Structure 1
Amino acid sequence: MVLDPSSPVGDGTVKMVEKPTGEPERETWGKKIEFLLAVVGFAVDLGNVWRFPYICYRNGGGAFLIPYLIMLIFGGLPLFYMELALGQFQRCGCLTLWNRICPMFKGIGLAICIISTYVSWYYNTIIAWSVYIFFSSMRSRVPWLDCGHSWNTNSCYSFNTEHSNMNNTSIAIDWSNTSHQSPAEEFFELEVLGLDNANGIGDVGGIKWSLTICLSGVFVIVYFAMWKGVKSSGKAVWITATMPYVVLIILLIRGCTLPGSWGGIKYYLSPDFSLLASHEIWVEAAAQIFFSLGPGFGVLLALSSYNKFTNNCYKDALVTSCINCCTSFIAGFAVFSVLGHMAYNQEKEVKDVAREDVGLIFYRLSGSYRIIIREGSTFWALLFFFMLITLGLDTTFGGLEAICTGILDEWPWLRKRRELFVLGLMAYCFLGALATTTYGGIYVVQLLDNYGAPVAIIFVVFLEAAAVSWIYGIERFSKDIESMIGHKPGIFWRFCWGVVSPVFLLTLFILSVVFPQTPKYGSYVYPPWSLNLGWVIVCSSLFFIPAYMVYKFIITPGNPLERLRAMTIPEEVPKHAQEVIPVYL
């Protein structure tokens, strides 16, 4: 249905008329479990075993859990529920949705597509690293067990009480010497990345073709999982969403049996309350919640739009968000038990055994897991990195599906050529990701990880919450939910949507702009021009929000006040809606 042009703007009501689109009936998930697995698979990602532990480590272990839980209850969970309900009721993607909520905010959908593109440029490269290491582990002895390989330097030493350098000379190690590097660290930086051929983000060197081949393999898998829509991706998630839990539980049990593991777990659970006075820990907690649960990325809108109309999205929101956050919490035990063991071996404090960057999950954990696995190193390495691959694939399915659903719903004629459209999208994202497969690609990854999504997504989710709650109306939104599940949301949800979540989000966005986080990798210091480039990346997605408002204002007829009023009135209602609720200006 669309706005009837014969209805005078400003008379207090809007009359809706049927829109003769001739669109085919929207496909739905084959089984309810496929939807749940897709949502869990998207939400439970590398961020749970990479980003969450590394942010915990950077913020004093258990101290981070307090703002994390607060942001979950008052920010992440209500918005997670909101997006599932919006997608299921409106049955469309992140672009068309705003025609039915508040047309002036359609730029939010464009911003979401840009943000998802940036994430695809570096996130799939992280999966490619795992693919590279996975295949490198297919030998009788994994290559990061010891030194003596072609990529090792004279600074290479293993974790044993006595260690061997390239010349196999037995020596005792003084771990206070920061020049020492583990075999895993050198394997990751020198063999996987080829970092010795780059001189920072200003000179990243050429493309490392072995990584490029791995990246192309990732995109091929993603393509064949997505080319038929939810019919194909719904089958893929049976493996990609369940396998990581099997591996994670096994690694958790083994990690907790290691000598010194309790020291790491104690560090993980012991909060330093003085850190709570820092704005940084709150900003990072919010960013982690939104990055993990995924409100604002358009994925929840896309996935839930293929649900049946009467599906209980409220129960889905509670179950899937709790599974996601519990997974992060459990993964923390697995990671910190290993860090505790590393600290025990090196006679260090837990806070001193690992660096605070993206390499934590790769060379620190792969290096320490070789202590865990001893004789079965190859099998366990393959299992561990297969877990990382499946974790990453689920999330990239969701992120790219958000773009696909948004564009295909906005231009339905493209659905007849979905296979070609998805192929074009994969090619575009692959070309954009090539910069991250250079020898210095990890510097690009850190830059994109810092600026591509976290800051912009907080503002996007703020505008989304504000538009739904303050313009579309909480009461109307609650009636939409009632029509699907039989009852309205409770006062807690309505209060969070209307007051708590928008205020929190706006405050966090202001803090993240006034006190920005700078990217880091080891001791490398990013030059000022690269930080300016980072803010250009942030603004490049947010730019579409005011730009579309201006465009909409120009093309809307009437005087300025009439235009502004018309821009806040839904232009469409979903064709499955049983009745149209009057819209009061």
Structure 2
Amino acid sequence: MIDIYMGMYYNTIIGWAVYYLIASLASVSSVLPWTSCDNEWNTPLCTPITSPQIFLNASTPAKEFFERSVLEQHKSNGLDDMGPIKPSLALCVFGVFVLVYFSLWKGVRSAGKVVWVTALAPYVVLLILLARGVTLPGATEGIRYYLTPEWHKLQNSKVWIDAASQIFFSLGPGFGTLLALSSYNKFNNNCYRDALITSSINCLTSFLAGFVIFSVLGYMAHVQNKSIEDVGLEGPGLVFIVYPEAIATMTGSVFWAIIFFLMLITLGLDSTFGGLEAVTTALCDEYPRVLGRHREIFVAVLLLFIYICALPTTTYGGVYLVDLLNVYGPGLAILFLVFAEAAGVCWLYGVDRFSEDVKSMLGHTPGLFWRVCWTYISPVFLLVLFVFSVLSHEEMLGGEYTYPRWSIAVGWLMTGTTVSCIPIYFIYKLLITPGTCYNRLKTIKRPVERSVPGGDVSAL
């Protein structure tokens, strides 16, 4: 359910990048459409960033292009009146779903080949953008700002929540992605090595991307004669306003825009593949005769369903729904889900039993450091993060828009539909298990013994 909620809005964000890419390709012989204030969507307050006179309420061409041309959110009054679907945006999102379908319809056979492109292409583009970014005036200041720690911000719970969200969305724990893909591995696959390599590459990639972003932010601060804090935005604003704004001032701006948005699309597709592959793999494995034999049809029906659910995000007020889905769809639920996984494996199933399972695969028992992390550090840390996220959920929405109370209630309902799956299944298992209440609890806690390759018996 979390993956479906994510598909309802995440593919829309990729659709925005497709819209920008098409606009960039259409500008090959001229200038980018978010460069000047001479377009039909611009307002009298539009002022180029290089203008010597900046008015108090002035807005930039890139900001107006995103808000008034791509989203056209000025035609909506918020979630109370979202307006009709914007056809061009709905078409871009449909194109994203078509790409996703032809990447998933054959399972890992098709997705595995596509990932070679979607996983490696962003690194090439990141290195190209980094080589360009560090040559810009002001880039040094931006990188210095990026590498200078501000320790006092560690007292802010939002920093920790954002850091956790970054890890969950980039590495994929809790979304079922890692479980789905690892289910195709051989029993004796070195999962220890894979875990270290994957998490290390993930963090190093984020670290590299920071240089790319902050070199450009330093350049923008130099151009606008502002501090970096005043230039940067969070979320979509950074990707669809600040960075395109910087690209528009560079020599060969159309080329840089094309490769930047190609990178965004490939990164986005790479992420959405994983979540939707988790859904299809789980259901096809659970119902091999009904769904497994007709995977192509099942994937098509599933993606069509998610696309129909995603259409409200392509309306003029869809950006508000995107933010709401981001926070209350996977945002809050994923923290509780991963805590439940950690607590279930380490506190109920038991770290010793889990370590023996790992030993049967690798030939050696995990070290003391890992067992301490699994038993104490990870579950407690995740629980604390979840509590702080719940207490500051409205702050996570951000922006100047005030969400109506009914929308917050709907958001909690979405969170409830995912989080409640765990206690509901617990109650279901309790009801169908014979015996007294104590014996039922004892029975459902006991793992099922199954044979594994090599003749061993593993508790699963």
8 Å contact 1:121–1:429 — kept in the other structure?
Answer: yes
Map 1:356-395 → 2, pairs under 5 A: 356-372=234-250, 374=251, 376-395=252-271
Map 1:293-312 → 2, pairs under 5 A: 293-312=171-190
8 Å contact 1:130–1:388 — kept in the other structure?
Answer: yes
- Structure-1 residue corresponding to 2:329: 452
**1:153 partnered with 2:31:** no
Greater displacement, 356-365 / 439-448: 356-365
- 1:478-510 Cα offsets, whole Å, 9 max, x none, are 222222222221111111111110111111112
8 Å contact 1:118–1:448 — kept in the other structure?
Answer: yes
Q: Give distance in 1, aligned partners of 2:454 and 2:328.
A: 39
Instruction: Tell me the amino acid that sits aligned with residue 382 of structure 1.
Output: I
Alpha carbons of structure 1 residues 250 and 562: separation in structure 2 relative to 1, 3 Å: same
- Structure-2 residue corresponding to 1:133: 20
8 Å contact 1:519–1:526 — kept in the other structure?
Answer: no
**1:401 partnered with 2:291:** no
Alpha carbons of structure 1 residues 361 and 574: separation in structure 2 relative to 1, 3 Å: farther
Q: Give distance in 2, aligned partners of 1:433 and 1:308.
A: 37
**1:468 partnered with 2:358:** no
Q: Give distance in 2, aligned partners of 1:447 and 1:250.
A: 34
C-alpha displacement of 1:196: 1.5
8 Å contact 1:447–1:519 — kept in the other structure?
Answer: no
Q: Secondary structure at the match of 1:453?
A: helix
Greater displacement, 192-201 / 121-130: 192-201
- Structure-1 residue corresponding to 2:125: 247
Q: Secondary structure at the match of 2:393?
A: coil
- Structure-2 residue corresponding to 1:538: 415
- 1:365-418 Cα offsets, whole Å, 9 max, x none, are 11111223x2x2222211110000000001111000111111112222121011
8 Å contact 1:264–1:341 — kept in the other structure?
Answer: yes
Instruction: Tell me the amino acid that sits aligned with residue 157 of structure 1.
Output: T
**1:487 partnered with 2:364:** yes
- Structure-1 residue corresponding to 2:445: 568
C-alpha displacement of 1:288: 2.1
Q: Give distance in 2, aligned partners of 1:485 and 1:580.
A: 15
Map 1:295-374 → 2, pairs under 5 A: 295-372=173-250, 374=251
Unaligned segments of structure 2, at least 5 residues: none
**1:553 partnered with 2:443:** no
C-alpha displacement of 1:194: 1.2
Q: Secondary structure at the match of 2:170?
A: helix
Q: Give distance in 2, aligned partners of 1:301 and 1:571.
A: 19
- Structure-2 residue corresponding to 1:524: 401
C-alpha displacement of 1:581: 4.9
**1:422 partnered with 2:299:** yes
Q: Give distance in 2, aligned partners of 1:486 and 1:517.
A: 48
How many residues align? The count is: 456
Q: Give distance in 1, aligned partners of 2:198 and 2:46.
A: 43
Unaligned segments of structure 1, at least 5 residues: 1-113, 163-171
Alpha carbons of structure 1 residues 519 and 470: separation in structure 2 relative to 1, 3 Å: closer
Q: Give distance in 2, aligned partners of 1:355 and 1:383.
A: 21
Instruction: Tell me the amino acid that sits aligned with residue 216 of structure 1.
Output: F
Q: Give distance in 1, aligned partners of 2:48 and 2:382.
A: 45
Identify the match of residue 59 of structure 2 among 178, 181, 205: 181
Over the residues paired in the alignment, what is the CA RMSD in angstroms? 1.7
Alpha carbons of structure 1 residues 377 and 280: separation in structure 2 relative to 1, 3 Å: closer
Q: Secondary structure at the match of 2:332?
A: helix
C-alpha displacement of 1:571: 3.7
C-alpha displacement of 1:208: 0.6
Map 1:188-267 → 2, pairs under 5 A: 188-267=66-145
Q: Give distance in 2, aligned partners of 1:581 and 1:205.
A: 56
Q: Secondary structure at the match of 2:244?
A: helix
Identify the match of residue 320 of structure 2 among 426, 430, 443: 443
Structure number with the bigger relative contact order (C-alpha 8 A, sep ≥ 6) is 1
Q: Give distance in 1, aligned partners of 2:208 and 2:248.
A: 21
Q: Which has the larger helix fraction?
A: 2
C-alpha displacement of 1:178: 4.3
C-alpha displacement of 1:419: 0.7
Alpha carbons of structure 1 residues 220 and 362: separation in structure 2 relative to 1, 3 Å: same
Q: Give distance in 2, aligned partners of 1:582 and 1:204.
A: 51
Q: Secondary structure at the match of 2:249?
A: helix
8 Å contact 1:357–1:521 — kept in the other structure?
Answer: no
Q: Give distance in 2, aligned partners of 1:357 and 1:388.
A: 13
Q: Secondary structure at the match of 2:316?
A: coil
Q: TM-score, normalising length from structure 2?
A: 0.95
**1:410 partnered with 2:299:** no
Alpha carbons of structure 1 residues 578 and 178: separation in structure 2 relative to 1, 3 Å: farther
Q: Give distance in 2, aligned partners of 1:128 and 1:574.
A: 46
